[in-house]
Amino acid sequence: MSPKKTGGFLRLMKDLLKTIKVFYRFIARKRFWFGLFMFVTAISTVLYSIIPYFYKTFVDNLEAGTTERLFNVLLIYVGIRTLALITNTLAYYLGDIICFDAAINARKKVFNKLQELDFAFHTSKSTGSLISAIKRGDGALWSLFHAIHHRFLNVLIDFFVMLYFFNQIDSRITIFVSLSFLFAIFITAFLIRKNIKARSKHNEQEDKISGIIVDNLVNFETVKLFSREVWELKRLDRSFVPWLKYGWKYVNTFRQIDLSIGSIINISIFLIVFWAIGLIKEIALTTGEFVLILGFVNSFYPRLYELVWSFRDVGKNYSDVRKYFRILDYDVEIKDPEKPVKIENIKGEIDFRKVSFSYGEGKRDAIRNLNLRIREGQSVALVGRSGSGKTTLIKLLMRFFDVQKGKISIDDVDVRDVCKSHLRSFIGVVPQEPVLFNNTIEFNIGYGKDNLSKKELIAAAKMANLHRFVMTLPKKYKTQVGERGVKLSGGQKQRLAIARMILSDPDIVIFDEATSQLDSENEKMIQEAFWKATKNKTTIIIAHRLSTAMRADKIVVLEEGKIIEKGSHNSLLNKEDSLYKYLWDLQTAQI
């Protein structure tokens, strides 16, 4: 084997061991139940494995003419089979207890990890691929457990029981059976490795297809607006070309396993029985012993085939479980401090001091040596062309990313010294495009507050100028908003987001205002609701329509990641060569 292939094999084995270790961290979580399961499974398998011995006993008693003992043997035989059935059923029941617990905890761990992972992770990953990996991984956990503990373990115990009885007859049969078994395992390991690689390649293509389908469903409105149904179908059709290519490579590995292992099994059975017939001719083997050999061979070798398929299942499910568990390996880049500071009684003083930041794979120098101080209770509007750094500042403040130079502080505490969840708990955000849960209006408004009363819900909706609209709906607050709030208009979603922010009662409010696509009435309602909700609160507004910015205490104009001017609405309008005045004139000229 070449060094390259050897290295590849070692990496595969290392990866396999790592995945199995994580697998058993979940499976063996309840140690008592797992130990009991293993014990009962072993007892059940041993009981089933010794059944061929009774064939010999029946024949020996018939040949000896001791027919009166056959009834006693029959009772023991049936008793053994009954006990084997009971313990086998109990083993499956105990296995289900273990698997339910493991599946729940694995899914919770993965879900929690996805919650912890940074903004950058989620913006770079396909939701469809993640859903596909989780769905396959959860199913594979069950299948992998069954393959290892009900197939693999059973066949191994069966093999050693058979060797024990064969060794009592002729050690040469024991040696031959052992060699044929090891040869079958060696060939299986080689073929399963090919199967795992083919499965991984096929899964990559499957995830791409899932990504296309989910992307299409999430953005179905855009597809309809541009009449791209046929184009989307062709896009999906093209993605099936590599999917089919790797799919054939994957399924063809099964045919190789069938032919190779099937041939080894058939040749082994033929040689063992042929050998046994020869021993009978030499009178070196009794009829009972011949029947015992025949019974073990006919029960074990078909189960050896099961072992091969359990290896195949392990390979298939390993590929799925590995991708599922790999989610747990992603690092949280924006980490909480080891000794976090908890800010009590938030005043809302915000200070950006010599802040610089660049995106790793995107625009460099998104923020450059920026200084900005926001006083307690002050409203500040961030204004500028698209890409000037307005949204980046908010992401840095909320620690979706960390500054690379300088520092951001709230009440003189560096935000990096505060736990992310605590930091965000006192910041309320009304996003540019509110994304709602596929649930009721009531659920979405009250999402940020526990133990919400109906009175509080209605008060927040009224404050956000939403209540009157809700009361026109047949199901009122129980109305379903649809996927991502698709059943509501843009203005209704923004007012709902304001109501949600009001109920969370934040100390600092961020309003990523985007009312340019709304009619004047909706724009006015949203602005009124916003200013009412943010009275006496520290407020940052990303102003797209300058009619919102003009009411702010201070307007900050950004250009290429730097502050180029700041002041009140009137002072900036009176300033020569003011970018703010230029943008204001552009917008007012369009009215």
Domains within the chain, CATH numbers bracketed? 17-329 (1.20.1560.10), 350-590 (3.40.50.300)
The residue with greater pLDDT, 194 or 141, is 141
> Considering the chain, what is the average pLDDT of its residues?
83
pLDDT (average), residues 226-252:
84
Amino acid at 186: F
pLDDT of residue 123: 67
State which of 270-284, 391-405, 537-551 shows the largest mean pLDDT: 391-405
Span 454-509, pLDDT tens digits: 888 888 888 888 888 889 988 998 998 887 777 888 778 888 888 888 888 888 88
State which of 53-57, 85-89, 264-268, 358-362 shows the largest mean pLDDT: 85-89
pLDDT (average), residues 175-180:
84
pLDDT of residue 79: 92
Span 548-575, pLDDT tens digits: 788 888 999 988 888 888 888 888 888 8
Confidence of residue 194 (pLDDT cuts 50, 70, 90): confident
pLDDT of residue 93: 93
Strand partners, 39: none
Give 416's DSSP letter. Answer: G
State which of 88-92, 440-444, 587-591 shows the largest mean pLDDT: 88-92
- Residue 413 to residue 502: CA distance in whole angstroms: 25
Overall pTM > 0.85 = no
CA distances from 516 to 335, 487, 573 (A): 37, 20, 21
pLDDT of residue 351: 92
pLDDT (average), residues 30-56:
89
Could you tell me if 155 and 265 are in contact, meaning their C-beta atoms sit under 8 angstroms apart? no
- Residue 417 to residue 356: CA distance in whole angstroms: 18
pLDDT of residue 153: 82
Q: What angle do CA 141, 143, 144 make, to 5 degrees?
A: 65
The residue with greater pLDDT, 30 or 432, is 30
pLDDT of residue 37: 93
